[in-house]
A = this chain, B = another copy of it.
Amino acid sequence: MVRFVDVPNMRRWLVSTGIERAIEGIADALVEDFLRWEQFDKTARVASHSEIGVIELMPASDGRQYGFKYVNGHPGNPARGMQTVTAFGVLADVDSGYPTLWTEMTILTALRTAATSAMVARALAPADATTMAMIGTGSQAEFQALAFRALLGIERLRVWDTDPNALDVFEANMRPLGFDIVRADSAAEAVAGAQIITTCTADKANATVLTDDMVVPGVHINAIGGDCPGKTELDARILHRGETFVEYPPQTRIEGEIQQLDPQHPVTELWRVLNGEATGRTSAEQITIFDSVGFAIEDFSALRYLAAAIDGTDFFTEVDIIAEPDDPKNLFALVAEGAAAPSLA
């Protein structure tokens, strides 16, 4: 039997645990996994593109456990009442090849993306950062805000979205939670005075939601939305002014903001910063850019954290998905009755 966390159980677990506490737990798992980066079997995600969206599989293995996520990205979905991104994930035992956990991962992905952003910002942003600008306040925005408060103590937010409804929703969700929120009238107004800039927009296009003139020395840019071929958010000039930090270069070169640049453009791998092999921020004036695309190891970290967190709880059910005959070499015995049924032949 395989453990199964459906949407209602994911909600129950998260409400019981607390979003910020779950993000902290995932961030701890992320740090552990980034510190053993070289142990992982890594693959750039396998994407199937259509004209209106993408479906991806994102596998990773540490040699003991194997995990993968199925995730789609369909920017046109909200207009018909559907989610832009939905996901589910699986953990399996490398020793037997048997799956051990199947879980909804739309909510879990929101947590892991936010935990990754904040974990990276904790390493790269100015130490005295108090204010974050957020350009794009869609489904991911609240989780980002909670992650930055949990890991960096950020409580002042300057927000902007082209969709007033998205701003209304964000404010209604977050004001009761003690955030100091300034609603800006433009991206430029949002970033003014912020030490951290998070861009998280959904258009599948080479957009420029952040122009070069908006970026002052010393900021940390958390660029989340540019995450597939043909989808970017940053003015390329910003990338030439700052230092770009990435998860897994073979994937980021294709999917990230740096798809706009020469394939040789220098980047720094985050795992090397965390383990001390590479330098993070070098000065108060430096612009640091996390060119986030989302990598399979981050999903692996979230999956193994969840698997441990639900152990001993009732936040899962069990599903019978592994056909196991009494004699492992006699699979046919499970369905032998069907051999006597009439054939069309």
Q: What residues of chain A have their CB less than 8 Å away from a CB belonging to chain B?
A: 4, 6-8, 10-11, 14-22, 24, 41, 43, 46, 48-50, 52-55, 57, 59, 61, 63, 66, 68, 70, 72-74, 77-78, 81-84, 86, 88, 90, 92, 94-99, 104, 106-107, 110, 138-143, 146, 149-151, 153, 163, 165-166, 169, 173, 177, 319-325, 327-345
Contacts and interface: CB of A to CB of B under 8 A. Distances in A.
B330 A139 contact: yes
Contacts of A92: 55, 70, 72
A50 B98 CA distance: 13
Contact of A323 (B10, B68, B72, B150): B10
Given A20-B343, A173-B333, A319-B319, 11 more contacts: A10-B323, A41-B48, A43-B48, A74-B97, A77-B328, A78-B328, A83-B324, A106-B322, A143-B332, A163-B329, A169-B333
A331 B57 contact: no
Contact of A335 (B95, B107, B341): B107
Contacts of A328: 77-78, 81-84, 139
A97 B68 contact: no
B97 A150 contact: no
A331 B24 contact: no
A224 to B, nearest CB: 14
Nearest to A54: B97
B50 A63 contact: yes
